[in-house]
């Protein structure tokens, strides 16, 4: 399936101005590996598959390079081809599972999240911050799931999520200012905060309060509350939250009932993490 109005092609990766140009003089930088990872990443959000032309537009790589990379990935079982369209295969999940199975915080979070979900009868999750987005690394879903598309590996913007604001609050001031300088927020609902000054205020409030509560800013009907997960050396490594429908918990109930459960979960994790 063809994309409509593809974005202009990026500069070739190792040409002046290209994405990998800064590493051109580094003898330890493996350009072919970097190109292969970019091709894999280009499939995000394209369940219908992509053609070589479409991948070229989004990555800036030459079609010849992409063709060789896709052939290699196909031989290794990571992609499959149907005529001129390529799709990722489930084999690619092994790359993500390698991280999940080797991360001590993710491994420790699973029983903690399950306990929170069992106690509150609401879904709970853990995320980490990555390039201005939160990435779900662990999740315990209640029988009723509001955001059905959320799963491990899902990514959401940090500025309009409770876990995102908690993680942004933990950034050094210089990094936080750089984040807001480049941010171009969009409204997901009528309640989404999009003014930079108001978003800064919300993040600083999360830093002071030790938690963030977001009310229908990402999805209508969704209310969530989150706290940071710290190591014993006081380093924020993740965030955990509870998400619920507005009909089940008002703001006061989230703070009175859900916040203590999250704080207890964060204390449990802190005792485990170095």
Domain ranges of the chain: 21-92, 103-272
| Residue 221: closest CA among 202, 242, 255, 244 | 244
For residue 34, what are its two tokens? 């970097």
Tokens of 61: 């790589």
pLDDT at residue 222, rounded to an integer: 93
In CATH, 21-92 is 1.10.10.10: yes
Query: pTM for the full model?
Result: 0.69
If DSSP codes are grouped into helix, strand and coil, which group holds residue 229? strand
Q: Which two tokens stand for residue 23?
A: 């590493």
Whether residue 164 contacts residue 158, with contact meaning beta carbons closer than 8 Å, is answered with yes
Note every long-range contact of 103-111, with CB atoms under 8 Å and residues 24 or more positions apart, other chains counting: 103/137, 104/272, 104/273, 105/137, 105/229, 105/237, 105/238, 105/269, 105/273, 106/137, 106/138, 108/269, 108/272, 108/273, 109/137, 109/138, 109/229, 109/238, 109/240, 109/269, 110/138, 110/140
The tokens describing 254, both together, are 């989230």
Specify the CATH number of the domain 103-272. Answer: 3.30.450.40
Could you list the pLDDT tens digit for every one of the 274 residues in the chain?
344 444 455 555 655 545 666 666 778 888 888 888 889 888 887 878 899 999 998 888 899 999 999 999 999 988 999 888 998 887 776 676 555 555 678 888 889 999 999 999 999 999 999 889 998 988 998 865 444 467 787 889 999 999 999 999 999 999 999 999 999 999 999 999 999 999 999 999 999 999 999 999 999 999 999 999 998 888 999 999 999 999 999 999 999 999 999 999 999 999 988 6
Q: What is the pLDDT of residue 20?
A: 66
Reported as type and span, the H/E element at residue 168 is: helix 162-169
What local confidence, expressed as pLDDT, does residue 60 receive?
Answer: 87
Predicted confidence at residue 6, as pLDDT, reads 47
Question: Which tokens hold the place of 225?
Answer: 């509350």
Residue 50 DSSP label: B
């Amino acid at each position: 399936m063809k994309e409509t109005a593809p974005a202009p092609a990026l500069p070739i990766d190792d040409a002046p101005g290209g994405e990998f140009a800064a590493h051109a003089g580094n003898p330890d930088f493996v350009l072919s590996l970097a190109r292969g990872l970019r091709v894999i990443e280009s499939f995000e959000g394209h369940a219908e598959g992509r053609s070589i032309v479409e991948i070229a537009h989004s990555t800036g790589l030459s079609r010849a390079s992409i063709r060789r990379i896709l052939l290699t990935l196909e031989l290794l079982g990571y992609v499959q081809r149907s005529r001129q369209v390529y799709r990722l295969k489930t084999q690619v999940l092994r790359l993500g599972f390698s991280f999940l199975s080797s991360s001590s915080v993710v491994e420790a979070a699973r029983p903690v999240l399950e306990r929170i979900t069992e106690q509150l009868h609401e879904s709970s999750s853990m995320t980490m911050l990555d390039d201005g987005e939160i990435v779900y690394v662990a999740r315990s879903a209640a029988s009723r799931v509001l955001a059905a598309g959320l799963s491990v590996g899902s990514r959401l913007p940090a500025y309009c999520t409770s876990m995102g604001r908690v993680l942004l609050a933990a950034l050094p001031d210089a990094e936080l200012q750089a984040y807001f300088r480049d941010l171009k927020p969009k409204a997901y609902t009528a309640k989404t905060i999009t003014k930079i000054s108001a978003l800064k205020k919300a993040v600083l409030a999360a830093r002071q309060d030790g938690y963030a509560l977001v009310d229908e800013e990402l999805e209508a009907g969704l209310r969530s509350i989150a706290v940071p997960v710290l190591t014993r050396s006081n380093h924020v490594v993740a965030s955990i939250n509870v998400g619920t429908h507005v009909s089940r918990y008002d703001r006061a109930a989230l703070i009175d009932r859900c916040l203590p459960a999250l704080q207890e979960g964060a204390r449990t994790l802190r005792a485990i993490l170095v």
